[in-house]
Structure 1
Amino acid sequence: MKKYLLYGSERYALAILRPLQDAIRRRGGEAAWFFDGPGAADLVEGERLLDVRGVRDWKPDAVLTPGNHLPHFFPGVKVEVFHGFDAGKPRHIYIRGFFDLYCTTGPRDTAQFQALADKLGHFSVAQTGWPKLDPMFKRDALREIAGPLPPVRDPPVILYHSTFSPSWSAAETLYGEVRRLSRDGRWRWIVTFHPKMPAETVARYKALQNEHLRFAEDDNILDLFPQVDMMCSDTSSALSEFLLTGKPVVTFRNRRPGPQLIDIDQVDQFEPAIARALSRPPELMQAIAEFGLAIHPDRDGRSSERVLDAIDAFIAGGGRNRRPKPANLWRKLKLRRRIGYWGPARC
């Protein structure tokens, strides 16, 4: 029986790693969880939580995480499955020296990580797709992905989502417009934010709730996608997830705009941009389709299985890369302090 440790530092790890847990169990394997941040309290009956000593005694074959670190002193192949798509923020294509294997989502990321793997030699790359999206591609409610979109609702429903960093977030800048547009009933709104959004901003938007605007606190933003006709955002990786549904996105001062987005840089452009998105112009819809194929071409809902296959292949090939990982002493020291473990590195 193969054993896999699912490692998280934020609650969003649950939505990313639970499809992997399901795939592990279907194969007759065993999964357990470790958290060094929020998330453990949200585990449910049947999900096993380990502490540091428990992990070392259990000796997993692999440790999988969507984060950018994991303890070098945990047994098993160290696997990065990513917490989101490349949204133009710093350090998405960035090698931190913790991982043996990177499981990439699509051709765009694969090419960049593989070039670094060829140069550095201390990690491998496998294009698998993203486990978080497996339920979305399998779910009956999103069969629209494989065919024509349903008509825009009457009234249309808009998902407003923002990242948390003040330098990237438009939540405060667009607050007045969302407040104004959510009161006349022409459009309906669902608002959701990154878990790290400042509490003051969250409180302001929660106070806007009325018959036309709902503040959603769903753990998994994918659950909201079938309920809406378009998204408004800024520089959030969630907008790439949304584009895979084939629906339009309006962004405010996006760090990496392209033809797949309606990007604006002035507040007074917000309302007309929404109207254009809801009209679904053909050139925009074609750009969205092409973008989706570049970042995540697999639509079969089997990315988790491909991740496990990639791990099996890596182990079968000897479980090593052609060069050892860097010493990484400062980062390892910080992670030991974070977890509170000062024991030996080897089991």
Structure 2
Amino acid sequence: MKAILFCQNNYAFGILEPIKQVLESNNDNYIWFIKEKILNDFPHKTDNFTTKISDLEHYNSDVIFVPGNEVPYFLKGLKTQVFHGLAGEKKGHFRIRHYFDLYLTQGPYFTNRFNELKNTHKNFEVIETGWPKLDVYGQGKNKYNTYKTELLEKHKAKKVILYAPTFSPKLTSAPFLINQIKRLANNLDYIILLKFHPLMDNDWINRYKELANKIPNIIFQDEKNIIKFLLISDILISDTSSVIYEFILLDKPVITFNSISENIKWEDTSNYDELVELVDTNLTKDPFAKSRAFIVKQFHPYNDGKSAQRMVEAVKSYINKNGVPKKRELSFLRKLKIHSKFGRPHKK
């Protein structure tokens, strides 16, 4: 099987890497597509990769794994949506854009919704596999324990706190929490890690970097894959971000501000001044421990570390049954949008 790992944003690397590993173990052929703007961040430059859509046209793929919203309709291959997060309440998560032949879902909450949409549109399939980015939870949950111990010892601290807000201007807590984060850092038992989305407004990135430069127990993290910081942190502070669900699946407490989630099973408030007190309460008493079980069951019930393997197997099964699509039929306007983002198909 020949596969394309399709990356438009750097968060895609951590999602697609487990699929790449399965492909390699199967001796399947693959190529990464990397947008020019993220090439410097790409960690697998010894792999086969390209920045040109024209190369993909000649590659003659069987499947295209996409953790984003668009993929060129004219590329040969089963166009497969693998998703870039678990936040189903975010605008557009369940929007059918008609670019995909197959949706590989993370858990029953997503599967049920997409099956309802499949019954309406009747032009794609849905298979539940789990999410490959979280395979590390089943394979190496403790892989950064030594790093965490060394970090705590260096700062003579007891707990690691992760602040990971969304980038969306309407949803982000970043403008409202900067002074509260500073206040939280007065407790030297805490190390506060700042991990911002790559699309976050640069002004706020720079302000928080300045804060980290001034206060030793606040650390701004530039490393692209957030999984490391999810694994070592004792509590997460956020707003409306899919990282909330990734963290809850580790069975650890979360505090959010003005979340728009439909399934809030954690501490959520609209009062930014409560941050310090809420961190203390959730670290010591963990009042939402029992309610987190709902999120695990509905959003991602897989803890075996084999979601990427299930994805590859699901794709092969689909292709064996239905064949490889030569292209995806789209409306004229959808085609124009694809042309504006990726260029027109090259004539054979």
* Amino acid in the other structure paired with 1:248: P
Q: Offset of 1:259 from its aligned partner? A: 4.9
* Amino acid in the other structure paired with 1:330: L
Q: Which residue of 2 aligns with 1:116?
A: 117
SS in structure 2 of the partner of residue 60 of structure 1: coil
Q: Which residue of 2 aligns with 1:201?
A: 204
Q: How many Å separate the matches in 2 of 1:140 and 1:240?
A: 16
Q: Offset of 1:46 from its aligned partner? A: 2.7
Q: Which residue of 2 aligns with 1:312?
A: 316
Q: Offset of 1:340 from its aligned partner? A: 2.8
From the superposition, tell whether residues 238 and 260 of structure 1 become closer, same or farther in structure 2 (CA, over 3 Å): same
Aligned: 1:169 with 2:172? yes
Q: How many Å separate the matches in 2 of 1:334 and 1:104?
A: 25
Which one of the candidate residues 278, 281, 291 is aligned to 2:295? 291
Tell me whether 34-43 or 114-123 shows the greater mean CA deviation. Answer: 34-43
The TM-score with structure 1 as length reference comes to 0.90
- In structure 2, runs of 5+ residues without a counterpart are 146-155
Deviations 1:67-111 (A, max 9, x none): 011001111110000000125211111111000000000000000
Preserved CA contact (<8 Å) 1:230 1:278: yes
- In structure 1, runs of 5+ residues without a counterpart are 145-152
From the superposition, tell whether residues 100 and 156 of structure 1 become closer, same or farther in structure 2 (CA, over 3 Å): same
Q: How many Å separate the matches in 2 of 1:76 and 1:185?
A: 54
* Amino acid in the other structure paired with 2:161: I
Q: Which residue of 2 aligns with 1:9?
A: 8
Q: How many Å separate the matches in 1 of 2:262 and 2:53?
A: 42
Preserved CA contact (<8 Å) 1:10 1:37: no
* Amino acid in the other structure paired with 2:65: L
Deviations 1:197-219 (A, max 9, x none): 11110111111122211001111
Preserved CA contact (<8 Å) 2:160 2:233: yes
Q: Which residue of 1 aligns with 2:87?
A: 86
Q: Offset of 1:291 from its aligned partner? A: 1.1
Preserved CA contact (<8 Å) 1:13 1:39: no
Q: Offset of 1:336 from its aligned partner? A: 1.6
SS in structure 1 of the partner of residue 89 of structure 2: coil
Q: Offset of 1:15 from its aligned partner? A: 0.7
Aligned: 1:242 with 2:247? yes
Aligned: 1:189 with 2:188? no
From the superposition, tell whether residues 259 and 330 of structure 1 become closer, same or farther in structure 2 (CA, over 3 Å): closer
SS in structure 2 of the partner of residue 196 of structure 1: coil
Q: How many Å separate the matches in 2 of 1:327 and 1:257?
A: 32
Aligned: 1:48 with 2:48? yes
From the superposition, tell whether residues 140 and 229 of structure 1 become closer, same or farther in structure 2 (CA, over 3 Å): closer
> Counterparts in 2 of 1:136-175, with a 5 A limit?
136-141=137-142, 155-175=158-178
Deviations 1:21-40 (A, max 9, x none): 00001011011011335333
Q: How many Å separate the matches in 1 of 2:227 and 2:200?
A: 18
Among all aligned residue pairs of Structure 1 and Structure 2, give the percentage whose two residues are the same amino acid: 30
Q: Which residue of 2 aligns with 1:275?
A: 280
Q: Which residue of 1 aligns with 2:18?
A: 19
Q: Offset of 1:133 from its aligned partner? A: 1.1
Q: Offset of 1:290 from its aligned partner? A: 2.4
Q: Offset of 1:338 from its aligned partner? A: 1.9
Q: Which residue of 2 aligns with 1:57?
A: 58
From the superposition, tell whether residues 98 and 298 of structure 1 become closer, same or farther in structure 2 (CA, over 3 Å): same
Preserved CA contact (<8 Å) 1:264 1:270: no
SS in structure 1 of the partner of residue 256 of structure 2: strand
Aligned alpha-carbon RMSD (Å): 2.1
Runs of 4+ that moved beyond 4 A? none
Q: Offset of 1:54 from its aligned partner? A: 1.8
